Structure 1
Amino acid sequence: MQVIPVLDLLDGHVVRAVRGERSAYRPIQSRLAPTSDPLAVARALIEASGAPTLYIADLGAILRHGAHAATLAALRAALPRVELWLDAGFADYASMRALFERIDDALAQRNSQHDCDAAGSQLATLVPVFGTESLRDIHALHAARRDGYTPILSLDHRAGELLAATAHDGSSAWWPSRVIAMTLDQVGSYTGPDLATFQRLRAQAPAHTTLIGAGGIRNRDDLAAAARTGATAWLVASALHDRRIDCAPSDSA
């Protein structure tokens, strides 16, 4: 099972998530890096996990404090072989496109300031994550696919209940090919993964859907338990920062 490292951005820093209680988030103190600088921490997470994917939660955007467009542009430029999954509290397709365009503008400005040409240069692939906590138009996923993106749906839960910004079809018919089972109150909790919610969603998922777990991983035993439920990947942050798990580039549990 693949470990996908998580980068939580707030006020220009990488922060440590605590049970989804965002008012309690503070700049990260990590055994992987001596700083909360996003680029340094991102590189350390990729090295520690060996993952080809980095999940980014732009909490500034999610909390409507302002997105980290320049930081996201720098990460795209610095991590060309990494797929960046971006959850920025997208309410609809228009808000997703607006932020992606701001990131493109920030890249152009960055390249101009560094007197370099981005034409032909390789950038990290940016993948939109639509979280039900913020999503108000489920047709956003179809619109993103139509325009060449491969969107991911995050089914956001707290205390076992789905967090939904608006009413939507309770079936799984509208789910895309990749779905995250996100349990916010397990994130940064060290209380173990919410396998019950994951298994319930896996039973509901269409055959073509890849289901990814998130939150609660403490150690390799938790990774093994998650893998036994059929998870192909799990989002992890605290256990990597605290070196409770260590993954080789091709590691699997």
Structure 2
Amino acid sequence: MRIIPVLDLKGGEVVRAERGDRDRYRPIVTSLSASSDPVAVAEGLRRLHPFSTFYIADLDAIEGRAPNSAALARLRTMRDAPDLWVDAGLAEDEMLAAALAEAGINPVLGSESQRDEVLLRRFRDHPGLILSLDFFADGFRGPPSLLDQPELWPQRVIVMTLAKVGSAAGPDFARLKQIRAKAGSRLVIAAGGVRGEADIRELSSLGIAAALVATSLHDGTLTSGQMALLGG
């Protein structure tokens, strides 16, 4: 069971997510770092556990503003450069192709950013592509075909329950079970609501391959010792 820390980027800083209400996101305050600088936060997380992969939500790019390119470039030049799973609101053919060609970058195709299934249909077999099925408080956000046709899914699929993000309310186990049942041999990754070790163990028992985690790492409810035992 992999544990993948999340860095939500906005205005060049790491912000703390709150239930998908992006207008309320503010620069993170965490005992793991003296500042909200992306590299400082990533290094703080690595002092907690030797993470080899980080998930990056470039909130500015997702919402149509200038991407956090400088922050991403700095993260890529860290010592023992991590693999970066990056959701930057990609919705164009050329931009996705360019992202897939970059070493150390695994572009995340967020369903909320898609107009139709064309982009996913073209690139679904690329080993670097990750699909994020995005669920807000009002339900699935994106073309229905992305949710209803699992044959379109790439090898890795994130179930992003934004209403659970930063809530300490627990993962959306029911939805994860549904997606896992449809996914076949694909890897399903949980995102949103993980509170600690018990949630990680339950996700593992459901066949979930990994969990994207932020709040429980910064708040200390998922500890270094627990992650060592969990194999994260």
TM-score (norm 1): 0.83
Q: Counterpart in 1 of 2:158? A: 180
- Structure 1 residues 65-108: Cα deviation after superposition (integer angstroms, max 9, x where no partner): 2101111111111154421000011113323346789xx8xxxx
Q: Counterpart in 1 of 2:115? A: 136
What pairs up with 1:149-168 in 2 under 5 angstroms? Answer: 150-159=128-137, 161-164=139-142, 166-168=143-145
* Letter matched to residue 204 of structure 1: K
Aligned pair 1:214/2:191, yes or no? yes
Q: Give me the whole-angstrom Cα distance separating, in 2, the residues matched to 1:71 and 1:159.
A: 29
Q: How many residues align?
A: 229
Question: What percent identity do the matched residue pairs reach?
Answer: 41
Q: Give me the whole-angstrom Cα distance separating, in 1, the residues matched to 2:50 and 2:123.
A: 28
Contact 1:50 1:250 in 2 (8 A): no
Q: Secondary structure at the match of 2:96?
A: helix
Greater shift, 76-85 or 214-223, is seen at 76-85
1:162: Cα distance to partner? 1.5
Q: Give me the whole-angstrom Cα distance separating, in 2, the residues matched to 1:63 and 1:199.
A: 30
TM-score (norm 2): 0.90
Q: Counterpart in 2 of 1:126? A: 105
Q: Secondary structure at the match of 1:18?
A: coil
RMSD: 2.3
- Structure 1 residues 11-65: Cα deviation after superposition (integer angstroms, max 9, x where no partner): 1110000000000000000111110001110121233233211000000101112
Q: Which one has more relative contact order, counting CA pairs under 8 Å at least 6 apart? A: 1
Q: Give me the whole-angstrom Cα distance separating, in 2, the residues matched to 1:173 and 1:100.
A: 21
Q: 1:160 to 1:96 in 2, by over 3 A?
A: same
1:176: Cα distance to partner? 0.3
Q: Give me the whole-angstrom Cα distance separating, in 2, the residues matched to 1:171 and 1:21.
A: 28
Q: Give me the whole-angstrom Cα distance separating, in 2, the residues matched to 1:160 and 1:231.
A: 24
Q: Counterpart in 2 of 1:12? A: 12
